[in-house]
A and B are shown apart, each in its own frame.
Chain A
Amino acid sequence: MTVLDIRDLTVRFATHDGEVAAVSNVSLSIAKGECLGIVGESGSGKSQTFLAAMGLLAPNGRATGEVNFSGMNLLTAGEKALNSVRGNKVSMIFQDPMTSLTPHMKVGRQLAEVLVRHRGLSAADARAQSIAMLKRVQIPEAERRFEAYPHELSGGLRQRVMIAMALLCAPELIIADEPTTALDVTVQAQILDLIRIAKDETNAAIVLITHDLGVVAGLADRVAVMYAGRIVEVGDVRQIFKAPQHPYTKGLLACTPRLDDETGGALLTIPGQPPNLQRLPPGCAFNPRCAYVMERCLRERPALLPDAAGGLSACFLTNAQGAP
């Protein structure tokens, strides 16, 4: 059963120098209880896809397409309908726990207000449930932490608070946007464990947005790779790691240091610069950096089609894209 279904989503930003498409024609669906990893470099549009889906774009952004969630299109839904979904049926965990909590409010109040809003709880009940949730995400001395300001907590604790906040209303979908990027490595592992536990306990679907393939490997069932605002490859997590199809995915994997490294330790990088969304080359956006570039790639953009490995990829080499 599909929880969230994104159809042909395009996100544009009005800037000083004209419009920029941050996301182009993205279609994705997330099944109940599934964990979908979204991987890509900065600026690949992976965060904007889901911010747009939740109606959280910056004021200069505009989204077209469809985002279906329990029978309603979130893109055209009113603010009120959106607010009944956000934080309630779909919750989000953001990248930077340092700046994602309101600095002048006590942590507890920020948790409790969600329950007051969506569950109509009294202040006392909201407090009790919030503290219980803080305990569930393994925050020691939860009662005391409930009365703390965000700056009095460490980065790891703050991210736990964010997770607790996301779990409060037992959502159907949790969107975690780079939940571990700003944290120390040891804390990263703890937070990922926590997300895994949350996933198993609540059976919520999870979207895990990250630039780190390692994070995806441990948690995700399926992976979508994004480049320059488009999905270039989607597939089962094992298939993607074992037999990546798109040259960009291959490049990403080659860049990830591995313990079973046989290449002699040289860390590879993808040549060239990350794409500039305002000056994308004609044809395939990856063509300036692609090792397998062909003449056709400079003229035409490959569509996202089934490939031999059983997933979808957007490359002339991986599937028959019609006659050249």
Chain B
Amino acid sequence: MTGVNLSSPHGEALKAAGEVDGRSLWQDAWRRLLANRAAFISLIVLVTLGVVSVVGPYVLPWTYDQIDWDHVEAMPPNFAMGHYFGTDSVGRDLLARTLFGGRISLMVGILATTVALTIGVTVGAVAGFVGGKVDQLLMRFVDLMYAVPLTFFVIILMVLFGRNFILMFLAIGAVEWLTMARIVRGQTLTLRNKEFIDAARASGGSTTAIIIRHIVPNVLGVVMVYVTLTIPQVILLESFLSFLGLGIQEPMTSWGMLINDGAAELEINPRTLIIPAAFMTVTLFCFNFLGDGLRDALDPKDR
């Protein structure tokens, strides 16, 4: 039984099967992902939420910042008036606000993760591939950053440079890349000595070209798993900042802010807290399930 652990024979077996049937690893992963019920449902929910939060605000009878002057108070759901989820304490439509807030939260999540992804993959791939002094320097820096209370730094940046949307995702992205860099470096180290990298080098590829063309595509799987798990973390961080009054500014809104608003009238009107909180929680759930599902799909022996 050299090297094969039959508690998880599917890894090797499937790779072999992929070769035989001419199916790629990605197609296999995709098939396995769809077979995972939790991950599949999560994917559908997330896509739906994304579409609804982008399209919704244009379709709804009220906009997120429009005050219904006939009802400047929290009003329970009223279909005749077009307030499907009711209104908040100053008469703004709660559904419109929740969807708009979702758009902001998702955007911060995705944009910040993109920033983290760009920095993390670059640093990780360079450190892993170039190695030596460069590697040591970069990873020392990453180690050092791990000791920094990063949430505090995001808050400091927000306070110093004013609370705005762009700074928000840049700041969060700038602190979320550390783990990404470590993961990518680890993967790159194992790739560096593979034959196809030698082949690329032998045929005269420059370091940059090899990193972009050969390293990055091969670490994509692991990175994608991590991305799916980072987005909810960022959404959580943003909502946390907004909740403390240190994030997005009025009249813009995000789930965290809506939850903060709702918390203020928790006793009279729990609906204003529960609706945005439910949207956010479901989203975070789905991202986590999707991330777990992706990990299982790409590396099935992990279960």
Contacts and interface: CB of A to CB of B under 8 A. Distances in A.
Contacts of A181: 2
Nearest to A57: B7
Most buried by B among A177, A178, A279: A279
Contacts of B205: none
A245 interface: no
Contact of A17 (B2, B3, B14, B20): B14
B1 A46 contact: yes
Contacts of A13: 6-7, 9
Contacts of A16: 10, 32, 35, 296, 300, 303
A226 to B, nearest CB: 11
A273 B16 contact: yes
Contacts of A58: 5-8
B4 to A, nearest CB: 4
Interface string B31-51: 010010000000000000000
A43 B14 CA distance: 14
A43 B7 contact: no
A29 interface: no
Nearest to A44: B1
Given A16-B300, A20-B13, A279-B17, A48 B6 contact: yes
B60 to A, nearest CB: 42
A292 to B, nearest CB: 23
A278 interface: yes
Interface in A206-256: 209, 211
A279 B2 CA distance: 21
A46 B1 CA distance: 7
Interface string A1-26: 00000000000010111001010000
B250 to A, nearest CB: 48
B13 A276 contact: yes
B17 to A, nearest CB: 6
A275 B303 CA distance: 23
B295 to A, nearest CB: 12
Most buried by A among B1, B12, B300: B1
A95 B5 CA distance: 12
A106 B26 CA distance: 45
Given A13-B9, A16-B303, A42 B17 contact: no
Given A22-B9, A279-B20, A178 B14 contact: no
Contacts of B10: 15-17, 20, 278
A277 interface: yes
A20 B6 CA distance: 10
B39 to A, nearest CB: 12
B9 A277 contact: yes
Contact of A61 (B6, B13, B17, B303): B6
A178 B5 CA distance: 14
A45 B6 CA distance: 9
A159 interface: no
A178 B6 contact: no
B1 A278 contact: no
A263 interface: no
Interface residues of A, number: 28
Nearest to A59: B7
A15 B12 CA distance: 12
A186 interface: no
Given A16-B35, A20-B9, A278 B2 contact: no
Given A16-B303, A277-B9, A43 B4 contact: yes
Interface in B245-303: 296, 300, 303
Interface string A132-150: 0000000000000000000
A47 interface: yes
B267 to A, nearest CB: 48
Given A16-B35, A42-B2, A181-B2, A61 B7 contact: yes
Nearest to A15: B10
Interface in B209-241: none
B16 to A, nearest CB: 5
B1 to A, nearest CB: 4
Nearest to B4: A42
Given A47-B1, A95-B1, A209-B1, A15 B9 contact: yes
Contacts of B300: 15-16
Most buried by B among A17, A20, A177: A17
Contacts of B17: 276, 278-279
A181 B303 CA distance: 27
B2 A211 contact: yes
A103 B178 CA distance: 31
A223 B20 CA distance: 33
Given A16-B296, A43-B6, A58-B6, A177 B13 contact: no
Contacts of A45: 6
A124 B20 CA distance: 59
Given A17-B32, A43-B9, A278-B17, 12 more contacts: A15-B8, A42-B2, A42-B4, A57-B7, A58-B8, A61-B6, A95-B1, A177-B1, A209-B1, A211-B2, A273-B16, A278-B10
Interface of B: 1-10, 12-14, 16-17, 20, 32, 35, 296, 300, 303
Task: Please give me the 8 A-B residue pairs with the lowest Cβ-Cβ distance, nearest first.
Answer: A58-B7, A47-B1, A42-B4, A15-B10, A43-B4, A42-B2, A22-B6, A276-B16
